[in-house]
Structure 1
């Protein structure tokens, strides 16, 4: 493991349906806003409308460059079904050098919309 020299982040969001999560993951990767995205089931417990909610959701983690985090966040928020979607970015502080380079390479090219 090496400390990252690339300034990468993992951007996370959640969705009600697997289908919607996978569609947004595919769209973001096609647009080169993320090198990859992982979709998996989670159980979320949170405050909403004055009470504690307990819901099955689908979490999506997007691997990308820090300088793309705002664009990716706006892309996700614009296409999200939730009134207040979770869209957060967490810095990558270390990783396999080859993987870190791969994320940079795969997000460097223009996507169909760019």
Structure 2
């Protein structure tokens, strides 16, 4: 998976999404994070729940996925945060090159 671009989806409460996004970009684990509001309906502890959350769309590379997952898990308020990685099978070559170049840079 080294160098392979992946998109990671993660939901979080509004108050936490920007903090987590800033953290993973500053640590060089993501090139970019888009944050958008979503409504979530899910089953948790035997009950159907409905919440407003923020969906983070995180662009990174496969070789950073384990560190990214650990970092999100440590910063996330949920007991079981949604962290789902999807492979990118194509896209604008210049953008994909920018993602590869941008990850690993730290502030």
Would you say same fold, with TM above 0.5?
yes
The reply to whether residue 55 of structure 1 matches residue 70 of structure 2 is no
Offset at residue 108 of structure 1 (A): 3.7
Aligned to 1:37: 33
2:7 to 7, 10, 14: 10
Runs of 4+ residues over 3 Å off in structure 1: none
Q: TM-score, normalised by structure 2?
A: 0.92
RMSD of the alignment, in Å?
1.1
The reply to whether residue 107 of structure 1 matches residue 103 of structure 2 is yes
Answer whether contact 2:28 2:102 (CA < 8 A) is retained.
Answer: yes
What residue ranges of structure 1 are gaps of 5+ in the alignment? Answer: 1-5
Q: C-alpha offsets along residues 60-80 of structure 1, whole Å, 9 cap, x if unaligned?
A: 111000111111010000010
The reply to whether residue 76 of structure 1 matches residue 72 of structure 2 is yes
Aligned to 2:91: 95
Q: TM-score, normalised by structure 1?
A: 0.87
